Structure 1
Amino acid sequence: MTMSTNSYLEFYLSLLAWIINNGIWNTLVDTGLFAVPFGAIILQEWLSARQQGADEGNKGLLSIPRVENRLWMAYVVILFACIPFFPLNLSSITYDDAASQRCGVSLAEPADTSWDTTFNTIGDKSANVPVWWFLVHALSKGITAAATAAIPCAPDIREMRMEIDSSRISNQVLLQEVADFTRDCYGYSRSRLFTNRPELDKAQSYDASWIGSSYFLNTAGYYDIDRSRTPRVAWLYDEARDTSLPQLANGAGYPNCKQWWSDADVGLRARLLAEVDPSLISRLEGWLTGRTNTEVEDATLRELVSPRQQSISMSPGQVFQDYGSSARGGSVTQGLNNLATNTGLALGSFSNFPAMNALRAALPMVQAFLILGAIISLPLVLLISTYQLKALMTVTFALFTLHMLSFWWELARWVDSSMLDALYNQVSSTDQTLLSLPTSGFMDGTVTAQVIEYVMGAMFVVLPMTFVGAMSWAGYAVGANIEGMLNRGSHSAEASAAKGTSQLMTAAKKSAR
């Protein structure tokens, strides 16, 4: 028999929880504390019987059925919900990745993470699971998995946008080369564009606002005539191309900007693309259907080389601060402008990691720790409640509810992605689609972003809280109803005992006469 989990953190904590749970129960058994509730049950029912009126019959006979029913139910609770029965080890607890495989999402297995050695260490200690909690776990996980499977597959658009925002050029040499390309190529071509003043439509104007502009690459008089001002070892010196330029001993040449950017193996575009996670590109291509691979890649590179991204990675005064021509100015005024720019960009960088993204990442972790706490506290909760069915059902519904939270968060994620897809995937330009995704909530300053944050806050927090409240009430009500049924059964026994006592007393009085 197996028990499934939805994350490797839950995998680890569940195994740890049952080991501690077994230790607590074994301590209660060894010390005899597990039997204390039996005495409490007898005392409670005896005191309850003494509170009855004189017309209820013999107090001793009245309390016997109550004590018997309570003790039998306590035995049942101990047998099925306290005594560890099913062995639990690394082979019987598994990580359930069926949903991720169905939707084509690749997630790390426990053995592929740093948790693997910890699992093996904990696995040396055996743990068992009581019958009732094993069934509750299997039922709750099965219902959660079935409900989650009913949700259609959808890409996690907000996560992809956050990955784009957090992408940086880690190679410092390549980072400096981006700055050189901006100075030697984009700056001159942009100035020439302002001088020539060609008629550009909206799409061309948008495209001409970054260093990998297809307009500058494919239009004569721009990147085809501009060149690198310093020799590049990746391009050999060409007599025809590099006439009148100094030839170095290492044979480095002076590529024109179109070559510098577009060459298949050594071009700046190819090397920048290697800095991006290939899985991110694949997911973007899967979402932005109808757009070519080149369009998706250029949109991602546009974000990667944007001044906003580079301001965090490079030192002020050493790199371009914008795509204008005054980035390297050395005046006091320009220094103050750069300081203000950097300050604004630093403040704006907080918008790249909104609280919603942190909340989404933290909630499943909190869920795993809550399940850990619930499992560890089971023996003590049942002991203190004197093994009552009401307590058992309440804790059962609580554990079921904690497992079911995975479905509500997956539903909220799907609704979030679907809203973003409907609102932003219809934009004609791929670049504009990626740039317009609302990652900063209120900082975006748009009504749409604020509404989305309100809705997602309710979906991720308020709706699960409502479900938790409803299930808590249901668990308490079910426990109270079951206990009421048992009490009604004991009342009939009490009535029979009282009736028998009354008849005996009547017969005794008649014989005395």
Structure 2
Amino acid sequence: MSTNSFLEYYLTLLGWIINNSIWNTLFASGIFALPLAAIIIEEWLTARGEGADEGNKGALALARIENRLFTAYVVIIFCCMPTINISLEHIKFDSTRSTACGVSVPEPSESGYATSFETLGDQSASVPIWWWMVHAISKGVSGAATASIPCSPNIREITMEVDTTRIEDPVLLQEVYDFTNDCYGLTRARLFNNRPTLNDKQAYDVKWIGSDYLLNTPGYYDSSYSKVPRQRWPWNESRDSGRARVANGAGYPTCKQWWSDSGVGLRDRLVQSVDPTLWTKLKSWITWSSTKEIEEATLRQLVSPEHQKKAMGTGEIFNSYGASGRPGALNTVGHGINNTVSNVGLFVDKAQFYPKMNAIRTALPMIQSFLIMALIISMPILMVISTYTLKTVFTVTFGLFTLHFLTFWWELARWLDSSLLTALYKNESWGSMMIDYSPIGLATDGTVQSQVMDFVNGAMFIVLPMFFFSVMAWAGYNVGNGLANMLDTGSKSAGGAAAKGADITKEAATAAVKTAATGKPM
């Protein structure tokens, strides 16, 4: 038996432990036999209510009872009686596909669920043969279907992770504030006074503190200095003369040194403050941009004023960039007005939609695991109440298969979402994508189609499984009914044949008696 998540790994065993306990209680108390008595009474009453044309009612009832009891015994043996032992050692956490896609998944004992697994102790459970086969087949089909989906990063998860990344070090955060005040504010004022001619790319670039234009153009960051001494830059007489000298030998770096010096510069320390796994995810996805472009676009988001405010306080979860500095947001007046009006409505819904969908996507596998556990626990009671009918067995079988197969639909929806986003933004820089694809973007930015695509892709995580549920419910209902009808038809045929056989025997016996009495053949 295999599972696809730590929670499912734990709840599957827990479900079978409780399942065994319920069945043992029903078996020890004799309740499991009540449906057998109900079958006999039901078929006897059914045969008794048949018309006179049905022939020998006793033979008819006997054939029906035999068929029903035989079916019930088969269901009890294969679907109710625990047979195959399982434990935490027998349930395997399947990480094959994650390994193939280069994703590291810890073992259950190395995860936060380790203490939960220990609470089960040495408890083990047993699984009926039929449900063990159903679990193996459904997981195998689901795994094969999922494995056919090409490996791709979860772009929604990456963008959410970028958006929720904060500068955790308060000293580093304060230094970002100092750099903004000492360098960026004064240099930007100087830029406005000089009024240089900037192209569209440069106009967008100068709107953040790590601007390449301000760093590499003489007269800007190379001519501005930190207002307080910094220990990482020793005193330099040619650079720092005329400024207050401190006992620890700290100097006053230029803004260019303060930002870009290797190892000690603010830029390198900000890069190091971001979780390395996030950089790995970004670089594995955005293969069409350089490492520098990826880092600078991400840092631009990280040090934005909205991000800094959220890092210093609480209350907000997702940031808003406000006015976009990207060129060409409104290419023509008509197109701009249409985009603005359409996107305003989408923007309002989008602000609520992203957090909801993020929570839903996180909760879906959890709900799946709990539903699987609930279905496993319910099996003994369902079998007893249904009087061990094959229709119930196949309905529950379809239900368990459907729950296991949901993993494939969610992976397919995630892959489609990521693939469409990659196709849509592949020719754009990561910086441009960061603004387009922030959870709350500018209402006038982007296209209506791209924002509608966000809603449609998000809805697929609900729509695809619901559609599959509907199809499987329809198929399961008809298959179950078909089996029930076949069983009923077969029992009627067997009962009718038995009744006819009894009538023929009766007629033959009567004829034999008359022949013996009269001496004449009848």
Is TM more than 0.5 here? yes
Aligned counterparts of 2:374 and 2:284: Cα–Cα separation in 1: 40
Stretches of structure 2 lacking an aligned partner (at least 5 in a row): 315-319, 324-347, 518-522
What is the TM-score normalised by the length of structure 2?
0.88
Preserved contact between residue 390 and residue 484 of structure 2 (Cα < 8 Å) = yes
Preserved contact between residue 351 and residue 443 of structure 1 (Cα < 8 Å) = no
Determine the structure 2 residue equivalent to 1:503: 504
5 Å matches for 1:383-462? 383-427=384-428, 429-437=429-437, 439-440=439-440, 447-462=448-463
Determine the structure 1 residue equivalent to 2:3: 5
Q: Note the C-alpha offset of 1:437.
A: 1.2
Paired letter, 1:393:
F
Aligned counterparts of 1:441 and 1:60: Cα–Cα separation in 2: 77
Of 141, 144, 148 in structure 2, the residue corresponding to residue 146 of structure 1 is: 144
Greater shift in the superposed pair: 159-168 or 97-106: 97-106
Preserved contact between residue 438 and residue 449 of structure 1 (Cα < 8 Å) = no
5 Å matches for 1:70-89? 70-89=68-87
Paired letter, 1:141:
K
Greater shift in the superposed pair: 493-502 or 48-57: 493-502
Q: Note the C-alpha offset of 1:45.
A: 0.5
Preserved contact between residue 15 and residue 373 of structure 2 (Cα < 8 Å) = yes
Preserved contact between residue 350 and residue 440 of structure 2 (Cα < 8 Å) = no
Preserved contact between residue 166 and residue 352 of structure 1 (Cα < 8 Å) = no
Report the CA distance shift for 1:81/1:470 in structure 2 as closer, same or farther (over 3 A): same
Q: Does 1:182 align with 2:180?
A: yes
Paired letter, 1:212:
G
Q: Note the C-alpha offset of 1:355.
A: 1.4
Q: Does 1:119 align with 2:117?
A: yes
Q: Note the C-alpha offset of 1:315.
A: 6.1
Aligned counterparts of 1:244 and 1:448: Cα–Cα separation in 2: 59
Q: Note the C-alpha offset of 1:262.
A: 1.0
Greater shift in the superposed pair: 283-292 or 254-263: 283-292
Q: Note the C-alpha offset of 1:256.
A: 0.6
Greater shift in the superposed pair: 482-491 or 185-194: 482-491
Greater shift in the superposed pair: 114-123 or 211-220: 114-123
Determine the structure 2 residue equivalent to 1:164: 162
Q: Note the C-alpha offset of 1:121.
A: 2.5
Q: Note the C-alpha offset of 1:476.
A: 2.0
Q: Matched residue of 2:39: which SS? A: helix
Q: Note the C-alpha offset of 1:506.
A: 3.6
Aligned counterparts of 1:32 and 1:399: Cα–Cα separation in 2: 28
Q: Matched residue of 1:234: which SS? A: strand
Paired letter, 2:359:
A
Preserved contact between residue 25 and residue 379 of structure 1 (Cα < 8 Å) = yes
Determine the structure 1 residue equivalent to 2:338: none
Determine the structure 2 residue equivalent to 1:265: 263
Q: Matched residue of 1:224: which SS? A: helix
Determine the structure 1 residue equivalent to 2:336: none
Q: Note the C-alpha offset of 1:442.
A: 11
Paired letter, 2:474:
W
5 Å matches for 1:77-476? 77-314=75-312, 354-427=355-428, 429-437=429-437, 439-440=439-440, 447-476=448-477
Determine the structure 2 residue equivalent to 1:487: 488
Aligned counterparts of 2:228 and 2:353: Cα–Cα separation in 1: 35
Aligned counterparts of 2:193 and 2:306: Cα–Cα separation in 1: 27
RMSD, matched Cα: 2.4
Paired letter, 2:283:
E
Greater shift in the superposed pair: 119-128 or 300-309: 119-128
Q: Note the C-alpha offset of 1:181.
A: 0.2
Q: Note the C-alpha offset of 1:192.
A: 1.1
Aligned counterparts of 2:240 and 2:313: Cα–Cα separation in 1: 32
Preserved contact between residue 224 and residue 256 of structure 1 (Cα < 8 Å) = yes
Preserved contact between residue 210 and residue 323 of structure 1 (Cα < 8 Å) = no
How many positions carry a matched residue from both structures? 484
Aligned counterparts of 1:475 and 1:502: Cα–Cα separation in 2: 40
Aligned counterparts of 2:216 and 2:148: Cα–Cα separation in 1: 48
Aligned counterparts of 1:375 and 1:96: Cα–Cα separation in 2: 20
Preserved contact between residue 146 and residue 411 of structure 2 (Cα < 8 Å) = yes
Aligned counterparts of 2:430 and 2:493: Cα–Cα separation in 1: 75
Report the CA distance shift for 1:455/1:234 in structure 2 as closer, same or farther (over 3 A): same
Aligned counterparts of 2:499 and 2:473: Cα–Cα separation in 1: 38
- What are the superposed Cα offsets for residues 421-454 of structure 1, whole Å, 9 maximum, x if unpaired? 1112211x33112221152489788523441233
Preserved contact between residue 230 and residue 251 of structure 2 (Cα < 8 Å) = yes
- What are the superposed Cα offsets for residues 111-155 of structure 1, whole Å, 9 maximum, x if unpaired? 222211221321411101111000000000000011011111111
Paired letter, 1:312:
K
Stretches of structure 1 lacking an aligned partner (at least 5 in a row): 325-346
Paired letter, 2:122:
D
Greater shift in the superposed pair: 434-443 or 238-247: 434-443
Report the CA distance shift for 1:112/1:35 in structure 2 as closer, same or farther (over 3 A): same
Q: Note the C-alpha offset of 1:273.
A: 1.1
Greater shift in the superposed pair: 71-80 or 264-273: 264-273
Preserved contact between residue 351 and residue 439 of structure 2 (Cα < 8 Å) = no
Of 32, 35, 38 in structure 2, the residue corresponding to residue 37 of structure 1 is: 35
Preserved contact between residue 142 and residue 408 of structure 2 (Cα < 8 Å) = yes
Preserved contact between residue 227 and residue 257 of structure 1 (Cα < 8 Å) = yes
Aligned counterparts of 1:64 and 1:292: Cα–Cα separation in 2: 80
Q: Note the C-alpha offset of 1:234.
A: 1.6
Aligned counterparts of 2:301 and 2:277: Cα–Cα separation in 1: 17
Report the CA distance shift for 1:489/1:349 in structure 2 as closer, same or farther (over 3 A): closer
What is the TM-score normalised by the length of structure 1?
0.90
Aligned counterparts of 1:310 and 1:8: Cα–Cα separation in 2: 35
Aligned counterparts of 2:306 and 2:216: Cα–Cα separation in 1: 26
Preserved contact between residue 351 and residue 439 of structure 1 (Cα < 8 Å) = no
Paired letter, 2:46:
S
Q: Matched residue of 2:241: which SS? A: coil
Aligned counterparts of 2:454 and 2:196: Cα–Cα separation in 1: 42
Q: Which runs of 4 or more aligned residues in structure 1 lie more than 3 Å from their structure 2 counterparts after TM superposition?
A: 321-324, 347-353, 440-446, 504-513
Aligned counterparts of 1:430 and 1:482: Cα–Cα separation in 2: 57
- What are the superposed Cα offsets for residues 381-434 of structure 1, whole Å, 9 maximum, x if unpaired? 01100000000000000000000000000000011111111112211x331122
Aligned counterparts of 2:151 and 2:58: Cα–Cα separation in 1: 65
Q: Matched residue of 1:308: which SS? A: helix
Aligned counterparts of 1:109 and 1:157: Cα–Cα separation in 2: 25
Report the CA distance shift for 1:369/1:267 in structure 2 as closer, same or farther (over 3 A): same
Q: Matched residue of 2:231: which SS? A: strand
Greater shift in the superposed pair: 170-179 or 499-508: 499-508
